[in-house]
Amino acid sequence: MSNLPDVLKRCNMIYEPKGQAGEYAPLATNPYRGCGHGCAYCYGPLVTKQKRPDFDAGAVLRDRFLERLWRDAQRFQAAGVTGQVMLSFTTDPYHPGDTAPTRETLRILAAHGLGFCTLTKGGTRALRDIDLFRPDRDAFACTLTSMSDTFSEKWERNAASPASRIATLRAFHARGIFTWVSLEPTLDVESSLAIIDATAPFVDLYKVGQANYLKEITRTTDWAGYTQRVIIKLQRLGKAHYIKRDLQKHLPAGYHNPLRVPQYHGERAAA
Ligand code: SF4
């Protein structure tokens, strides 16, 4: 992506995530402001400078988003940049409202030679767009914090149930699409370990982070012990993984922990 810095300077809908989000993807776009999933741990209101009740009221398409995305995608295409763009960090592409623009977003990215990855808690809502995902270019991902509906309803009150998210991962995997799971935030160690056991047959990659800014959980969890148990389990299952920076101090010295692995199947030239 040698032309990337120049292209990014001229784009405003496709951007380079920084900080903790930057650990997830080199490129991203957020079609909406707000999100109706109502996750108690969401940092979206902070990043988008919205009051939490406004953010939680539901996702609204950003002003002229599709038109502006098209222009950005044209710039990427003209520069020969063909990387994968992630949806989304400050909203959910399959929130409970009207997600028709998400489908248009994926079409625009693909039409300009870009790959895409969706990260969602929308569960089976994402199946509407499964036909657009290409095994050799795209990825599908879910955040999972628990296998329990009751636990999820407490923390992610309007998100799809864990069972719905897991069924959707399974469906994308069956279509040959690269799948990954975000185990961040980790709200309960045993729950996150159970998620790995339950999903390993149809998940290609795990990204593991701790819980930040959740005083009691952040302070009382044995993060060193968690990190050890996670990597032992993932190694035993032969699953690719990335341990996020917050937990990296607990990794053994020299541990192989690549920040970026290809999030698609099959061979293609690196962008
Ligand atoms: S799904 Fe993501 S963006 Fe939406 S409320 Fe939850 S954490 Fe925030």
Whole-model pTM: value is 0.95
167 lies in a domain?
yes
Mean pLDDT (whole number) for 139-155: 97
253 lies in a domain?
no
Q: Which domain holds residue 34?
A: 4-248
The yes-or-no verdict on residue 268 having pLDDT over 60 is no
262 lies in a domain?
no
> At residue 240, what is the residue type?
A
pLDDT band at residue 270 using 50, 70 and 90 as cut-offs: very low
Atom of ligand 1 nearest to the CA of 122: 1
Q: Which residues fall within 8 angstroms of residue 10, CB to CB, at 6 or more apart?
A: 75
Atom of ligand 1 nearest to the CA of 90: 3
Phi/psi of residue 206, nearest 5 degrees: -120, 135
pLDDT digit string (tens) for 179-231?
999 999 999 999 999 999 999 999 999 999 999 878 888 889 999 999 999 99
Instruction: Say which CATH number the domain at 136 has.
Output: 3.20.20.70
Instruction: Say if ligand 1 is within 6 A of residue 144 CB.
Output: no
95 lies in a domain?
yes
Please count the other Cβ atoms lying within 10 Å of the Cβ belonging to residue 134. Answer: 18
Number of domains in the chain: 1
What are 244-247's contacts with CB under 8 Å, separation 24+?
A: 244/20, 244/23, 244/184, 244/207, 244/208, 244/209, 244/210, 245/20, 245/23, 246/20, 246/209, 246/210, 246/212, 247/208, 247/209, 247/210, 247/223
Q: CA–CA separation, 200 vs 195, rounded Å? A: 8
266 lies in a domain?
no
Distance 15 CA to ligand 1 centre (A): 19
pLDDT of 2: 58
